[in-house]
Amino acid sequence: MYQVVCYWGTWANYRPGEGKFTPDHVNPDLCTHLIYSFAGLDSETWTIKTLDEWMDLEDKYGLAGFKKATDLKKFNPHLKVTLAIGGWNEGSEKYSAMASDPSRRKSFVTSAVQFLRKYNFDGLDLDWEYPAKRGGKPEDKENFIELIKDLNSAFSKEKLLLTAAIGAAAGTIDAAYDVPAMYKYLDYVHVMCYDYHGKWDKKTGHNAPLYPRALEPSADQALNVEYTLNYLLKKGADPLKTVLGVPLYGRAFTLLNPNSNKMGAPAAPTSFQGPYTREDGFLGYNEICLESGDTEAPWTEKWEEEHEAPYMFRGDSWISYDNERSLRMKAEFAFDQGLAGVMTWSIDTDDFLGLCNGPKFPLLRTLNNALYKRSSGIYSSANATSLSVFTIILTLFLAWRPY
């Protein structure tokens, strides 16, 4: 059975207008695993903690996010709801200090089991970004293994899931992860195959290209989904425990010359933001699809054949993103590579209200549909469709022949 792992950034509760995403918006039938993001680490007691008590808990008239998330299992009894700890804003230093000390690790592991049981979660997802980087130490690579080894020992007794989100760049993989050991102790590994390019490059690039382009610089040819997966497999990754991460958002750029608007065009170090997510250089798909439907100030939409991915531009504004076509190809790629499934970051930036003249959660539905068709032997590519039509016509012709 394939996985569709859904990360949910709970701070989306505070977005304005139609960008506000609450527990009521989650469709539990579109996910096999729902990951509530994020909890944090208390650097005084080395225990897990809530990062937003009002959002997470029921005390003091809180929003009861933990309970509402885990209660979704009542609607889909096959759904697993786990809790992610870490994330970009939590950084690396605290986790480095905790993992380096056996007594601190013990405190953390004990608190994690108690916390998950108290709030009815099915497991923990480690999102330490990243061991040995961002203020971490070189020995984090070994200490990360010690940490997940300790967690695995405790979790296996409690029948709790243990997963981790890992970086996709080869340099991060080399510095942060002992790949064979990591796969030994984790139930699944969620590979964050996005943020390959952004405004920081000072040139346009795709957020999550499936394949490289022949004419892009050699360093950039390592920044794509295919390269990441092949690199991990060579390092000893187990495909049956590997979940391919796909983005439900895009990256925005500001062109230095509006007439130079192809891949690799010069861009400013700062860009623009969407009305809901309000982050420079970042737009949710729910913002992008509304923009693409603007008939008064239309965008030019393009498909990059080598990357197998879309982008669009208008004036000096340029956006790379994923749509239904590109995500279908990524889901098929994951299935054909024998992976466990796909993971999304994050469901709160899909078109969850169905504002873009289609169903709610069009991207999440596309992933489910593509994996279902692949697993059922129904191929959705144009060539397979053409072949199926040809086969049907040929069969009818042979049946019709009088001889």
What pLDDT was estimated at residue 400? Answer: 42
Other CB atoms closer than 10 Å to residue 319's CB: what's the count? 26
- What would the pLDDT profile of 121-149 be if each residue is shown by its tens digit? 999 999 999 999 999 999 999 999 999 99
d(Cα 120, Cα 33) in Å, to the nearest integer?
14
- Tell me the pLDDT of the chain averaged across its residues: 94
As a whole number, mean pLDDT of residues 200-221 equals 97
Provide the β-strand partners of residue 336: none
Other CB atoms closer than 10 Å to residue 194's CB: what's the count? 23
What pLDDT was estimated at residue 403? Answer: 30
What pLDDT was estimated at residue 380? Answer: 55
More confident residue, 29 or 1: 29
Work out the angle between the directed axes of helices 102-118 and 140-158 (0-180°, nearest 10).
40
What pLDDT was estimated at residue 60? Answer: 87
Other CB atoms closer than 10 Å to residue 217's CB: what's the count? 11
User: What confidence tier does 46 reach under pLDDT thresholds 50, 70, 90?
Assistant: very high
What pLDDT was estimated at residue 368? Answer: 98
Q: Is 397 exposed, middle or buried (0-12, 13-18, 19+ CB in 10 A)?
A: exposed
Q: Which CATH architecture has domain 3-248+322-400?
A: Alpha-Beta Barrel (3.20)
As a whole number, mean pLDDT of residues 381-388 equals 42
- What would the pLDDT profile of 341-378 be if each residue is shown by its tens digit? 999 999 999 999 999 999 999 999 999 999 999 999 88
Tokens 């040929």 belong to residue:
394
Work out the angle between the directed axes of helices 225-235 and 324-336 (0-180°, nearest 10).
20
In 3-state terms, what secondary structure has residue 35?
Answer: strand
For the chain, domain boundaries: 3-248+322-400
Q: Is the pLDDT of residue 387 over 80?
A: no
Q: Is the pLDDT of residue 156 over 90?
A: yes
State percent of the chain over pLDDT 70: 94
What pLDDT was estimated at residue 203? Answer: 98
Q: Is the pLDDT of residue 383 over 90?
A: no
Contact in structure between 6 and 347 (CB atoms under 8 Å): yes
Catalytic residue among 90, 129, 216, 304: 129
As a whole number, mean pLDDT of residues 151-166 equals 98
Provide the β-strand partners of residue 244: 191, 342
d(Cα 39, Cα 36) in Å, to the nearest integer?
8
State percent of the chain over pLDDT 90: 93
Active site residue 306: no
107, 146, 151, 170, 174 from 102: Cα distances, Å: 9, 9, 12, 29, 24
Contact in structure between 7 and 347 (CB atoms under 8 Å): yes
Q: Is the pLDDT of residue 393 over 80?
A: no
d(Cα 224, Cα 192) in Å, to the nearest integer?
11
User: What confidence tier does 1 reach under pLDDT thresholds 50, 70, 90?
Assistant: confident
Backbone torsions φ then ψ of 384, nearest 5 degrees = -65, -35
d(Cα 325, Cα 104) in Å, to the nearest integer?
46
Q: Residues with Cβ < 8 Å from 337, sequence gap 6 or more?
A: 229, 239
Contact in structure between 263 and 216 (CB atoms under 8 Å): yes
Would you say the pTM of this structure is higher than 0.85? Answer: yes
Give the 3-state DSSP-derived string for 48-79, with helices as H, strands as E and coil as C. Answer: EEECCHHHHCCHHHCCCHHHHHHHHHHCCCCC
Tokens 């539990």 belong to residue:
28
- What would the pLDDT profile of 75-97 be if each residue is shown by its tens digit? 999 999 999 999 999 999 999 99
DSSP state at residue 298: P
Backbone torsions φ then ψ of 212, nearest 5 degrees = -80, 165
For 5, the enclosing helix (H) or strand (E) is: strand 3-9
Q: Which long-range contacts (CB under 8 A, 24 or more apart) does 61-68 make?
A: 63/13, 63/23, 65/10, 65/13, 65/23, 65/36, 66/36, 66/119, 66/120, 66/121, 67/119, 67/120, 68/23, 68/24
- Taking alpha carbons only, the member of 124, 128, 100 closest to residue 111 is 124
d(Cα 227, Cα 219) in Å, to the nearest integer?
11
